[in-house]
A and B are shown apart, each in its own frame.
Chain A
Amino acid sequence: MQAAAIAAACEKYSIMKQLLFLLLFGATLAARAQTTDSAANMPQVALHEVRVHTTGKSQHQKLFSYFKTNEAATTEDILSRMPSLSLVRRGSFGQEPIIRSFSASQTTLLLDGMRIQGACTDRMDPATIYTEPMNLEGITVQTNGNTLLGASVGGTLNLKLAQAYCGCESPEFSGSFSSGYQSNAHAFYEALSLNYATAKFGIRATGSYRKSQDYRDGHNETVRFSGFEKFNYSLAGIASLGKDWLLKGHFIADDGWHIGYPALPMDVGYAYARIGSLGLMRHRHDAAWEHLELKVYANRIVHYMDDTRRPDVAMHMDMPGQSTTLGAFAEGRRRIGANQQLNLRADVSDTRLKASMTMYDEGQPPMFMLTWPDNRQLRGGLAVQYQWQPDSLTTLQASVRGDVHAFSLQTQQAKDQVSVINDGSEPIPYFIPTASLTATRRLFPRLAATWSASIGGRTPTASELYGFYLFSRFDGFDYLGQTNLKPEQSLQTELTLQWIQKKWQASGTAYISSVSHYLTGVYDPSLSVMTPGARGVKRYENLDNALLYGLEGSFIWQPFTNTSLVSTLKYNYGQDEAGHALPLIPPFRNVTSLTQRFGRFGFTAEFEGALAQNRVNEAAAERPTPGFAIAHLRASYAWTKDGTALRISGGVENIGNAWYYEHLDWGGIPRPGRNFYALLSVGF
């Protein structure tokens, strides 16, 4: 669909102008749930107006500025508003997206279909932080076990990268510039994007810079070590190879410095990511294989944790980590007759990880250990998805996927060290079969239902296999890996009901998932802690079972042409085999946003709140979190003339200066208090 959108956009000069205009304005968010295409039951948001051409304008306008609260929003800000996602927060930056109440290891995070693995043993760097919203075209969340992109227990999150375009009749140069300021953290945001396109060739370059000081909470107290500084630049190119084929290249570099993590004992000194890919793509509506794509990619992350800025550090330590991934995938989509479709995907990846820790105690030799003994994960997968529309009211979809994973230790040093905690045996290769079945039917003219059932699975992560005394500030335990873990498996079913009226629509999803061989840390009193002050040592083990279920809902109401109300809610519940609450389960949460436009002006009032979470995991010393309610006001003014567009936006967030934190915020570190922001964007 992306390709279709791009192709469509490229075909007509006028459409392209419109595209740029809208792209700049950020009037650009569309929920895909309403579309009638193959991915009808795959929640997506499109961040760029490119979507307009495939989805029609009616629905996305109502979600205008909902996902992207303001132009300076980070990828994390956008993710936090998607109904099926939550963020685990350790600092004001580098939050970890989780799907529903599944942990990050239970979900698969992809960047444009590419595997990318954070280089931090403490999960300070989910791959989402290495992208900027301006580099993103859309975000896809697969929750219903649709396993085309990758196998997982809890779902797949794919960040689709914005592409360069070509196919213009005359050479075309365009761009945009944004500059913003946020008062609470004295944060600056500057971004520049430039596009050049000819008939055969297109290039897109972007750069953005963010710098944030420590923010202040609702008691006007500075939350120390919460600032960060980050530079992101990207270069994308596209070239037409003859009639059908397109050659695409993409490169992203992201450099962050002094990224503060107030909930952790250390910050990130620097984090560098280099992400590159080269792809070949063909898209033809009239061909049997209407979409073909082949991509090779490589990415590398260097991550350096640092405590030199912290006061009262008993013992200074360095914790560098590195991740390198090479991979390739091939995708094809074939139409079979008028109402059947086949999607195929084959992918391979090779990820190497290593991380170490060196502690310095005066007058003593440095203490060095591998926290991720040098390891490698070779992975290959094959997926087939078949879709059939027996009639105009019904869509059936079946998908199967098989993944083979082989983990190995790469150096003698790594093997020697791992033999301390394991008998030295390497994990046996894992085979992870996954499958799903989805049926969508319009039961009544205004009511559509989607039901799906799936079998999911995942391998243990490198931390779960080889992690060496990885300290978790969340529960205060050191974690030790184990090489003889079984893969986790899930059985999941979900039902979505969607009621669509002319002026409003409501949608609700209920899911239930039973996870067997549930992987979690189990306290082993026979082991002595490594981290001073740790409460004990946990080893990763497979438990029998865990049960997770929840609800998600959204409501969109457009009483008048220029008025829209969007409200989303989510509720999740999780328990282990003994009936105890699972840790880090987000409570009931609601965001409601009311937007009114007056010509060039737009105003949005927003409510955000969550109920208290009192079901906590006592073994992890998790504490109940009180509920909260906060409000935001936003305003914007947009003006355009002769292909130049100007947009000024501003607002105040957390108007009441409430002191609060959310349940997934580690350490109960308070969120920012009242914040004024202003942003100027110019497009040409």
Chain B
Amino acid sequence: MKNILFSFSLLAACLFAFSSCKKEKSTNPEPAPGPTYYALGSAYANGLHAQLFSDTALQTGYHRLYISLSDSATGAAVNEAQVSVMPLMNMGTMTHAAPFENPASTTAVDQYFPAAVVFTMPGSSSQWSVQVTVLKDGVPAVMSFPVNVDPYSPERVRSFVSAADGASYFVALLQPKKPIVGVNDLELAVYKKQSMMSFPADSSLTISNTPEMPSMGHGSPGNIDPVHTGRGHYKGKVNFTMTGLWRLNLGFTAPEGPADSTTYFEISF
């Protein structure tokens, strides 16, 4: 009898301990753990401390970049600013830029300003840099982040010269990142090269996609060609019927006529 009583009291104590624990958590929440980004560097300018992040170490291709800002004196987060990015490739005799996307809003999302850059070629941190310009209260602050860009295989950025207008276009493959046997999201971003420093997003093209397994010579059914959804992004569906090496054969048509039919991406899984 005594034993049973003891057991019960122990049980009650345990239950109490657990329940009190829970209560504590719900009343004093810890700040939500932020996404675990890959740190690319930090820099100071004009009383601002900027940190640059990406999802993974940089390789050729389309990367989302995240910029967090704080007051360098107080450490207080800065959530309102106009942030812009500019990727720069220093090739010694010349410098060129690459396609990019600036944060869509002047308000940070969970304390980060999301941007994106298409790294069009591999390069060391003495060659590639991302220049971040912050305009806050009318005062511009410019910070430069040298970054290392490794080659990625198979290629996720392709370029072609349009047969329609003679201009160069860059095409980045965004999705599928984790391909499955089944229906996959297909997302491409297309940029037109206006100059060495200017690669605006292009929304004028019609894209067709014909997936193929080169070693088998077969395709897949039910694909949906990507269509423009905004900021140069084209979204569709690509279907894989088995694992292995697939090739997405792309066709681009400009309003004036066929632009290119030689560009392809390879996906291996």
Contact of B213 with A by CB under 8 A? yes
The interface residues of chain B, by DSSP majority, are classed as loop
Which of A359, A370, A419 touches B183 (beta carbons < 8 Å)?
A419
Contact of A477 with B by CB under 8 A? no
CB distance from B48 to the nearest CB of A (A): 46
Return the CB mask of B199-218 against A: 1 if under 8 Å, else 0: 00000000000000101111
Contact of B220 with A by CB under 8 A? yes
Return the CB mask of B228-269 against A: 1 if under 8 Å, else 0: 000000000001111111000000000000000000000011
Categorize the interface residue count of chain B. 20 to 34
**Contacts A369-B181, A416-B180, A420-B182; A532 near B243 (Cβ below 8 A):** no
B243→A367 contact, CB < 8 A: yes
* Docked complex Cα distance between A148 and B8 (Å): 60
* Docked complex Cα distance between A277 and B239 (Å): 43
Residues of B within 8 A of A418 (CB): 182
Contact of B47 with A by CB under 8 A? no
Closest chain A residue, CB of each to CB of B184: A416
B219→A368 contact, CB < 8 A: no
Contact of A67 with B by CB under 8 A? no
* Docked complex Cα distance between A369 and B246 (Å): 14
* Docked complex Cα distance between A366 and B245 (Å): 9
Contact of A621 with B by CB under 8 A? no
**Contacts A370-B181, A416-B182; A365 near B222 (Cβ below 8 A):** no
Closest chain A residue, CB of each to CB of B216: A532
Contact of B221 with A by CB under 8 A? yes
Contact of A528 with B by CB under 8 A? yes
A368→B242 contact, CB < 8 A: yes
* Docked complex Cα distance between A480 and B241 (Å): 12
B216→A416 contact, CB < 8 A: no
Contact of A361 with B by CB under 8 A? yes
CB distance from B238 to the nearest CB of A (A): 10
Return the CB mask of A424-450 against B: 1 if under 8 Å, else 0: 100000000000000000000000000
* Docked complex Cα distance between A420 and B238 (Å): 9
Residues of A within 8 A of B269 (CB): 365
B245→A365 contact, CB < 8 A: yes
B216→A530 contact, CB < 8 A: yes
CB distance from B221 to the nearest CB of A (A): 5
A254-298 with Cβ < 8 A to chain B: none
A512-534 with Cβ < 8 A to chain B: 526-530, 532
Which of B180, B220, B244, B269 has the most chain A CB atoms inside 10 A of its CB?
B244
* Docked complex Cα distance between A440 and B268 (Å): 67
Which of A357, A368, A413, A420 touches B220 (beta carbons < 8 Å)?
A420
Return the CB mask of A367-392 against B: 1 if under 8 Å, else 0: 11110000000000000000000000
Show 9 A/B contacts (Cβ-Cβ < 8 Å), sorted by A: A359-B244, A361-B244, A364-B244, A368-B244, A413-B180, A420-B182, A469-B241, A528-B220, A530-B216
5 further A-B pairs in the complex, CB-CB below 8 A; given A368-B244, A420-B239: A364-B245, A366-B244, A367-B216, A419-B182, A420-B220
On A, residues with C-beta under 8 Å from B are 315, 357, 359, 361, 364-370, 413, 415-421, 424, 468-469, 480, 526-530, 532
The 5 closest A-B pairs by CB, nearest first: A416-B182, A367-B244, A369-B242, A528-B219, A361-B215
